[in-house]
Amino acid sequence: MNALRKFEHRPRTVRIRQMHLSLNALENRAIAAGLAGIPSHVLAGDRLSTEQCLAMYQTDDVPLLGVLANEMRNRRHGDTTFYNVNTHVNYTNWCNQFCDFCAFQRRPGDDGAYCMSPEQVEQELRNANPEATEVHMVAGVWPALGYEYFLDILRAAKRGRPNIHIKAFTMVEIDLIVKLAKKPLPDVMAELREAGLDSMPGGGAEVFSERVRAELYPKKMSSKRWIELAHQVHGEGFRTNATMLYGMIETLEERVDHLNKLREIQDVTAGFQTYIPLAFHPKNTKLEHLPFASPMERLRAIAIGRLFLDNFAHIKAYWVMLGLPVAQMALNFGANDIDGTVSQEKVYHDAGAATPQALSRAGLHQLIREAGRDPVERNTLYQALPTPESELAV
């Protein structure tokens, strides 16, 4: 009895790399931060409620969120930090959606408007980094391209690089493609797969609030449709990613609702691979007056992703959007993936991202190592690839 009591009162500790913090100390700090009970919940592996998620958005103690998110990241992944060698093909910027947050969209004939032919897509792939294992292909919404165009660009990409994994088309593009095909979704997905589609990125979800949609992207399909499509494409065996675009006019409650909806989908389908919070870049958009999220807010978004989305294995710190120093810090705030070498990215660079156009594999290794983590190259489906010889000696 005495021994049991002694055990119960022994302070439980959490190892945060070299640091040992007692749960009591974390809980005391959490009380002051308006996060009472969250450390115990998280460290016991219990699911956080939407009210707790809101408290995490409201607290000033973002470093405490980082401590907890880092612990959960370490438990799942240790020091392993995934990256891949990839390239982007934004096949057209023609778009009829007119989203206020977008700096990429053009009308045909506008300055800088373009649409790649299948032959151009093939050439892009031939010119791409010979070591790339993935092409990320997304673009604007332009119905006149017709259904066959989408099959053709997939085939063209595979002709250009037969073994590459094609991660293409957000739910918004899938919605368009299914409408153009005038066939049931399972048939369309089978034809896209046959043409070369392997998986899908996140994106197009923005923030699920219908209020925000009505104000900033009223032409875009509803959140209900995005969610329905996610269920359906996961049901057809495709893995996809999930994102949230934050830092526009959405309330904190609307962010929580978005994350909760992603968590609910994942409970049913387990089809999401990674969650990527996307901070709004205002430059060259109709919302240029809005500020870019501070580094602390970007880190908060990563930490909350790790803590609230307990059914997501991976949280991605997309370096293109975060900036390199914040992406490095994010690896100690819950993220275990930093995206890829990335070349030819246009959506963010058009909106003012000041990050480089691409990083080499050696550059990514250095970035991850400087953050105190171990770089591991992955394929799109998160299978680890052997370390290339060039990096073994480092």
Residues found near ligand V47 in the complex (CB under 6 A): 101-103, 170, 201-204, 206, 241, 243, 245, 276, 278, 280-281, 285, 318, 339, 347, 351
Q: Would you say 52 or 285 has its CB closer to ligand V47?
A: 285
C-alpha to C-alpha distance for 158 and 122, rounded to whole angstroms:
8
Q: Would you say 245 or 368 has its CB closer to ligand V47?
A: 245
Q: How far is the CB of 352 from ligand V47 (least distance, A)?
A: 8
For residue 338, CA distances in Å to 51, 206, 222, 272, 326 come to 29, 20, 29, 17, 11
Q: Would you say 161 or 378 has its CB closer to ligand V47?
A: 378
For residue 164, CA distances in Å to 156, 196, 200 come to 12, 9, 14
Q: Would you say 118 or 203 has its CB closer to ligand V47?
A: 203
Closest CA to 179 of 229, 129, 223, 214: 229
Cα-to-chain-centroid distance, residue 216: 21
Q: Show the tokens assigned to 247.
A: 């830092």
Q: How far is the CB of 210 from ligand V47 (least distance, A)?
A: 16
Q: How far is the CB of 207 from ligand V47 (least distance, A)?
A: 9
CB-CB contact of 120 with 127 (8 Å): no
Q: Would you say 26 or 276 has its CB closer to ligand V47?
A: 276
Q: Would you say 52 or 92 has its CB closer to ligand V47?
A: 92
C-alpha to C-alpha distance for 107 and 99, rounded to whole angstroms:
13
Q: How far is the CB of 381 from ligand V47 (least distance, A)?
A: 12
Q: How far is the CB of 251 from ligand V47 (least distance, A)?
A: 18
Q: 240-246 and 80-84: which strand pairing? A: unpaired
Q: Would you say 203 or 375 has its CB closer to ligand V47?
A: 203
CB-CB contact of 238 with 271 (8 Å): yes
Q: State the residue number with the nearest CB to ligand V47.
A: 203
For residue 139, CA distances in Å to 98, 116, 145, 203 come to 13, 10, 12, 11
CB-CB contact of 147 with 100 (8 Å): no
Q: How far is the CB of 261 from ligand V47 (least distance, A)?
A: 15
Q: Would you say 245 or 331 has its CB closer to ligand V47?
A: 245
Q: How far is the CB of 155 from ligand V47 (least distance, A)?
A: 22
Q: Would you say 22 or 357 has its CB closer to ligand V47?
A: 357
Q: How far is the CB of 45 from ligand V47 (least distance, A)?
A: 27
Q: How far is the CB of 244 from ligand V47 (least distance, A)?
A: 8
